[in-house]
Homo-oligomer: A and B are copies of this chain.
């Protein structure tokens, strides 16, 4: 199975009022530790793996953020199908090919 997902996770209630960047950076550390291929974007992080690996990684990110914040918001989209790894890159390249 090959799932490509994108998620954004941020605090709605937190002890500080500054940038969200430290919260996103902490999430990326957890995603990196998962070993799943990922790509950080301006509105979310794309990652690839099987469904359980992705949901497990997102659970770690959620649980970690909830330790320090009273309320968090998760927005997750998953495109799940059979397929070889590398879809994250292939989906973009196949569009790029058509735009040449």
Contacts and interface: CB of A to CB of B under 8 A. Distances in A.
**Which size bracket describes the interface of A in this complex?**
35 or more
Taking the full assembly, how many copies of this chain does it contain?
4
Contacts of A29: 99
A92 to B, nearest CB: 6
A12 interface: yes
Contacts of A1: 66
Contact of A79 (B48, B51, B58, B73): B73
A95 B21 contact: yes
A28 B92 CA distance: 11
Contacts of A24: 95
Nearest to A27: B95
Interface string A17-37: 001111011001100000000
Interface of A: 1, 4-6, 8, 10, 12-13, 19-22, 24-25, 28-29, 39-44, 46, 48, 51-52, 55, 58-59, 62-63, 66, 70-82, 87-89, 91-92, 94-99
